[in-house]
Amino acid sequence: MSRLDETHDPARTSWVESAVGHPDFPIQNLPHGIFNRAGEAPRGGVAIGDLILDVASATAAGLFEGETLTAAQAAAGETLNPWLALSPAERRALRRRLSALLSDTDQTEAVRPHLVASSKVRLHLPARIGDYTDFYAGIHHAVNVGRLFRPDNPLLPNYKHVPIGYHGRASSVVASGHPVLRPHGQTLTPGVETPTYGPSRRLDIELELGVWIGQGCALGDTIPIHEAGRHIAGLCLLNDWSARDLQAWEYQPLGPFLAKNFLTTVSPWIVTTEALEPFRIAQPQRPDGDPRPLPYLWDDQDQARGAFALELESAILTPRMREAGETHFVLGRGPATNLYWTLAQLVTHHASNGCNLNPGDLLGTGTISTPDDSGCGSLLELTRGGQNPIRLPNGETRTFLESGDEIILAGRLGAPGFVALGFGECRGTIA
């Protein structure tokens, strides 16, 4: 069922001038995050153009009342976990009030004192993450990587029956802009019998979506597929930094460990489920011959509206490019519909064994890649395991990341008849 209302109206504009035509944060978006100015404690905010509405300040000034006051208080503190725990109806009510405050010119004088320039604040993780799980739902990434190791059988038999994932490290998830320290670990050089310990030489990226859990479920409970969507509060961009040389040595028999848990970067704004409504589209049909998911993972409505009209992009900016004043170079660009499983299927499967989910838990989709080189979500795929270096416009080459390289992820939601939205950037520089 569609949840469109006046907040999605493409004709609605904000009296905040920078919001009009803003590539990421027009009045139709209104994502939530946590920010602080120098000398102040972190607090909840809402992005609007190049400004941030200080929700705590606006609440203290009496701009919310009734149901929206309770919701605004939940969105005003040093973490968004209380806001994530709200019901979808409570979040929608707050969104409608925020949209009215920032579009009604009669509210200009009352609201303007509570706006802060984005350029003058620091952005933080939006929530206290209790648990982080990373899936492997990008089928073309799975095929591309599998082909490097198993040319004749890139996908293992379980892939098309069950969403594959692993439990990551919540404590090393950071907000955009945090430096990326090159991890150390054991590696085994081909042709050598004994491993060595040292810095990773095959540092890579993974272009993913992050899924923020809203209302969760208790230990022992499950989440039916037709209800899974209401447990998703919003999305962000996610870069699951990966040390491929460490990974190659340690991943058997239990999978990712030190090659993955040293850092994960997310964009700091939660683009809400309510803002995403106009961009829902059908999940691509599975190819002929692929198995139909088991009944607990199948819902006709989810298949009809469980994907999003979203284009993702990864780019690199090297130190030499930066010094020359050059712009970043796009490594890949492609649609989020390259996910084999819907977000609802990931949530349902996660809880299907009675695993509890809590407000503020984070799920990664896994690397989202295209079947060709136009939208590879990792350097491992793009360089064929380091065998085919990428040539940048200034003559530099890369197989994996070098010191000083900056990676920028971006995402753009677009649909006919609606105003396009973005996530803001997800950046990280190799220290």
Enzyme catalytic residues: 141
Residues 6+ apart with CB under 8 A from 11: none
Query: Of 299, 325, 321, which is closest to residue 227 (Cα–Cα)?
Result: 299
Report the alpha-carbon angle 294-297-301, nearest 5.
120
What SS3 string covers 373-418?
HHHCCCHHHHCCCCCCCEECCCCCEECCCCCCCEEEEEEEECCCCC
- Tell me whether residue 120 is exposed, middle or buried, using C-beta atoms within 10 angstroms of its C-beta: 0 to 12, 13 to 18, 19 or more: exposed
d(CA 405, CA 317): 6
Total residues found in the chain within this entry: 431
Q: Are 175 and 238 in contact, with CB atoms under 8 Å apart?
A: no
What would the DSSP string read from start to end of 299-313? Answer: -HHHHHHSEE-EEEE
**What is the distance of C-alpha 294 from the center of its chain?**
27
- Lookup: tokens for 45: 């905010």
Query: Of 2, 195, 28, 200, which is closest to residue 102 (Cα–Cα)?
Result: 28
CA distances from 103 to 39, 53, 412, 424 (A): 31, 13, 23, 21
Residues 6+ apart with CB under 8 A from 174: 125, 263, 264, 265, 266
CA distances from 89 to 92, 94, 274 (A): 5, 9, 10
Where b means 16+ CB within 10 Å and e means fewer, 179-191 reads ebebbebebeeee
